[in-house]
A and B are shown apart, each in its own frame.
Chain A
Amino acid sequence: MSQDMSVPMQPSKSRTSLRGLVPWVVFAAVLLLLPVVFQGNSTAFTLLNVIGINIVFALSYNMLLGQGGMLSFGHAVFFGLGSYAAMHAMIAIDDASYAGEGFWAHVPVVGMPVIGMIAGGLVALVLGWPFCRRAGTAFAMITLGLGEMVAAAGQMFPSLFGGEAGIYGNRMVGPQWFGLELAQSDDVYWFMAFWTFVAVFAMWAFTRTPLGRMSNAVRDNPDRLQFIGYPPRNIRFMIFIASGSFGGLAGGMAAVNYEIITPEALGLIPSGLALLMAAVGGLGVFYGPIMGAIVVTLMNSMLSDYTDASILYVGLVFLSIVMFAPRGLGGGIEQVRVAWREGDLARRLPGWLSGALAVGLIIVGMVVLVEMLFQATHGDDEFAQVLGMEFDAAALWGWLTAAVLVVLGAVIKRATNKLREDQA
């Protein structure tokens, strides 16, 4: 069965030329440029910091699911425990700084993600072995059970987890490194940018190691791996530890960013969030979860300002990606990139554009529909507002508009599919 749980992924070609460096230079440049673009806008920095955490979290999750074929519902355990470890360390630094002596007085807060990483890795090391016997549904269920148990324990032991109020610390303590005061969110940004870059690079490098290659093999064909002398369980165990470490690293970043951690961070909801981000972004492409993290974080934090149905939209986006674009956002971009490299873009672009138009129309139609439904049932304002236009849920024309948009989109989609078939 584990064989069936695989995710289609293209065989990666290894290139040693300088071209491989280009994405990293671009990535670093973007990280350096963002503060210039958003100067003075603390909300943007706050969101960027959250996005940084979620990028690392989603990528560490994808080490399990996308690359190792192990569907986990308990990844937040590593994130949360890593965060708790980092927070306890931060409190120790705070206490030691007052005394001015002791080991912790010399540890900078900037290094907290390392603490989180060690904690996450240790937890995976201690717990992981019995879990890694099978991939597939058994692994999914056992991680679900683990997640529920750890989350319950988090509420039961207040001395360690701080009870409902959680534990909290102060990031402006201990020795400062690189002149980072970490007072404001734009200061924290540099901390986030550094660790995001390091973690993303490390996780990418991991995919190039023999173990990283082996993780694809254990996903695609564990039996063969067994035959050639690599017990799949050992491989899975090592991936589990690596993934747990990076999950803990993301937790360490979160501890510094939020300066508080509560037991909820261990539960099923944040675990589901990791899955959501990875799947929306695309499991089969390395940078997919990065895109997923960006989109889902923005939807989570900003969408509710515009509509009360924000969670429904997140669910619908997820559902439509699973149904219509199983390779996620990253997969779509990869498709365009491959076409461009092979000089095929001009021929395929019209089909893609009309497809995008169709999807756009369907989305707008659905949004109008949902908003009107919401107004009809909850009725806060008189009209449902979509794209600056007002729709009256009591009048027929609004519903008609929505229906026309959806139908039009479907028709164009059908025509597009035909066009593509003809091309192929």
Chain B
Amino acid sequence: MLKSLFTFITASLLLVGTAGAAETVKLALIDPLTGPMAGAGQPALEHLKFEAKRINANGGIAGKQLEIVGLDNKVNPQESLVQLQKAIDSGIQYVTQGNGSSVASALIGAVGKHNQRNPGKEVLYLNYAAVDPSFTNERCSFWHFRFDANADMKMNALTTYIAENKDIKKVYLINQDYSFGHAVSKAAREMLKEKRPDIEIVGNDFHPLAKVKDFTPYVSKIQSSGADAVISGNWGQDITLLVKAAAEFGLDAPFYTYYGASSGVVTQLGDKGVDRIYQINEYYGDFEDPEMAKRQVEMYKETGWDFYYLRLSTMLDMFKKAADKAGSTDPVKVAKAMEGLTLETTNGEVVMRAEDHQIQLPMFMSVMKDDMKYGAEGTDYNFHKVARIEREDVTLPTTCRMRRPK
């Protein structure tokens, strides 16, 4: 055992030694890569690697080759800080993360403190999926950029869609009993009240996070409430099992979800999800753009994972554009160039808002369909566009008062 200890230590020393040797710029993904949550981190890692090849073929980041480094954090905030330190020590100045607002909270704090305590060695944190609105409001930081719509923006888009659907009169809310679930529920209640005061909230349930094995009692409750639609921010098994139970008991109300298309859901639901599960996202399963459709097929062939995180591609493209504009990969310069940057994506123009570093983008409501040309996870099912919600209908004001370096 002593020997392995020494190999670890010498290995970590070597890690430091190789820093900055070649003309590369490294981006570290700090996400769960092993353990029960690996199914959330691995596709992101593969997606980044896949897209890095395209970026590098097009000249790289400000002339440097982009290299993706995966660091496993087991979705544990404390472990993430250890991995962040490892990244910083090996000369990495860009980190990205998405799974878990707990981790994001730890990283925002740690990156901010690191940059304050080590001027000249700044690190940027590119957030691709942690959606707690506070990160671009009261806790906003110059060193943090969010490439995903935050939870409130998603609800804004979702309720805009529901508001236009006059058939919906009664809405049922079911969410996980923790800060995110409560934020979703609160936003839904407030926004629906404002946009469609006639809609009645017939239920507002919370269940413990990832503890419920049998959702049938909740489904009976929804059934008897006479709801026309269900809104849920559930993710992971909590959304799969919920919709599955609903399908089995013949509950016909549609489920408007945040994470209906996350990995594993399509496989497990199969035909039970068709026309029942909706998702609000910046992406949907079948691209109209032939170039993107081709990339989607290629990625599945190459990595075995679906092209789920369009925002990771957007993130790398914006990173490249900002670095090219700044003519440098210095994090401070890149961050300044990133502020207010626009990018033309396959779904239209997106903007990185300078005030709070929150991306502004159009969103899509999509629903699961059978017999799709490109099926998710090797099945025939995928999500198909139902409606486009424009950027102006997604955006929300911010309370951020950004402190910028001089």
A306 to B33, alpha carbons, bound, how many Å? 12
Among A99-107, A122-130, A232-240, A294-302, the stretch that binds chain B is A294-302
Asked if residues A166 and B105 are in contact (CB atoms below 8 Å), the reply is: yes
| A47 to chain B: closest residue by CB | B82
Q: From the candidates B1, B15, B109, B132, name the one contacting A295 in the complex (CB within 8 A).
A: B1
Q: Are B89 and A260 in contact (CB under 8 A)?
A: no
A41 within 8 A of partner (CB): yes
Question: Across the interface, which residues of B come within 8 angstroms of A183, CB to CB?
Answer: 117
Q: What residues of chain B lie closer than 8 Å to A156, measured between beta carbons?
A: 177-178
Q: Closest approach, in angstroms, between the C-beta of B44 and any C-beta of chain A?
A: 14
Segment at the interface with B among A64-72, A111-119, A307-315, A336-344: A307-315
Judge if A421 is at the interface, Cβ distance under 8 Å: no
Question: In the complex the two chains form, is A41's CB within 8 Å of B89's CB?
Answer: yes
List B residues 94-116 near A (Cβ within 8 Å): 100-102, 104-106, 109-110, 113
The answer to whether A258 and B34 touch (CB under 8 A), given A42-B85, A298-B8, A302-B12, is no
User: Are A168 and B35 interface neighbours, CB within 8 A?
Assistant: no
Across the interface, B208 reaches (CB within 8 A) one of A155, A164, A260, namely: A155
Q: How far, in angstroms, from A293 to B323 measured CA to CA in the complex?
A: 43
Nearest B residue (CB) for A265:
B78
A401 within 8 A of B: no
Q: Are A155 and B209 interface neighbours, CB within 8 A?
A: yes
Q: Annotate A229-267 by CB proximity to B: 1 below 8 A, 0 otherwise.
A: 000000000000000000000000010001110111100
Instruction: Output the least CB separation between A194 and chain B (Å).
Output: 21
Query: Most B CB atoms within 10 A — which of A43, A298, A329?
Result: A43
Which residues from B are CB-within-8-Å of A43?
12, 15-16, 85-86, 89-90
Inter-chain contact B5/A185, CB cutoff 8 Å: no
Residues of A within 8 A of B5 (CB): 294-295, 298
Of the four ranges (under 10, 10 to 19, 20 to 34, 35 or more), the interface on chain A belongs to: 35 or more
Closest residue of chain B to A307 (Cβ to Cβ) is: B34
CB pair A258–B78 under 8 Å, yes or no, is yes
Q: Size band of the B side of the interface?
A: 35 or more
* B83, A301: Cβ atoms closer than 8 Å: yes
B86 with A164: CB separation less than 8 A: no
Q: How far does the alpha carbon of A254 sit from the alpha carbon of B78 in the complex, in Å?
A: 9
A260-B77, A260-B106, A305-B71 given; A164·B180 CB < 8 A? yes
Given contact pairs A50-B82, A302-B11, A165 touches B72 in the complex (Cβ within 8 A): no
B208:A46 contact, CB within 8 angstroms: no
Main secondary structure of the interface of B (DSSP, over half): helix
Question: A62 near B: Cβ within 8 Å?
Answer: no
Digitize B242-256: 1 where CB-to-A-CB distance is under 8 Å, 0 elsewhere: 000000000000000
Interface of A, helix, strand, loop or mixed by DSSP: helix
Q: Are A152 and B208 in contact (CB under 8 A)?
A: yes
Contact with A along B109-128 (1 / 0, CB 8 A): 11001000110000000000
Residues of A within 8 A of B76 (CB): 264, 269
Q: Is A416 an interface residue (CB 8 A)?
A: no
Minimum CB distance partner of B102 in chain A:
A262
Closest to A308 in B: B34
B residues in contact with A269, CB < 8 Å:
76
Q: A262-B105, A301-B79, A305-B71 are in contact. Are A165 and B88 (CB under 8 A)?
A: no
B35, B106, B208: the one contacting A166 at CB < 8 Å is B106
Is there contact, CB below 8 Å, between B178 and A155? yes
Q: Given the known A-B contacts A50-B82, A301-B83, are A44 and B77 also in contact in the complex, defined by CB atoms under 8 Å?
A: no
- A155 to B77, Cβ gap below 8 A? no
Q: How far is the CA of A159 from the CA of B224 in the complex (A)?
A: 34
Cβ-defined contact, A301 with B82, below 8 A: yes
Contact of B105 among A47, A158, A260 (CB under 8 A): A260
Which residues of chain B come closer than 8 Å to A306, judged between CB atoms?
A: 11
- Scan residues 201-239 of chain B and give those whose CB is less than 8 A from a CB of chain A: 208-209, 211
CB distance B77 to A42 under 8 Å? no
B12 pairs with A164, CB closer than 8 A: no
Contact B82 A164 (CB under 8 A): no
Judged by a CB distance under 8 angstroms, whether A163 is at the interface is yes
Which of A44, A163, A185 sits near B9, CB closer than 8 Å? A44
What residues on A are CB-neighbors of B396 within 8 Å? none
B179 touches A165 (CB 8 A): yes
Do the beta carbons of B109 and A168 come within 8 Å of each other? yes
| Least Cβ–Cβ distance between A51 and chain B, in angstroms | 11
Interface residue ranges of A127-186 to B (CB < 8 Å):
152, 155-156, 158, 162-166, 168, 170, 172, 183-185
Is A164's CB under 8 angstroms from B178's CB? yes
Q: Are B85 and A185 in touch, CB under 8 angstroms?
A: yes
- Give 10 CB contacts A-B under 8 Å: A41-B89, A50-B82, A163-B178, A164-B132, A166-B77, A262-B102, A295-B1, A301-B83, A301-B86, A306-B11
- Residues of chain B touching chain A, judged by Cβ–Cβ distance below 8 Å, are 1, 4-5, 8-9, 11-13, 15-16, 33-35, 38, 71-72, 74-79, 81-83, 85-86, 88-90, 100-102, 104-106, 109-110, 113, 117-118, 132, 134, 177-180, 182, 208-209, 211
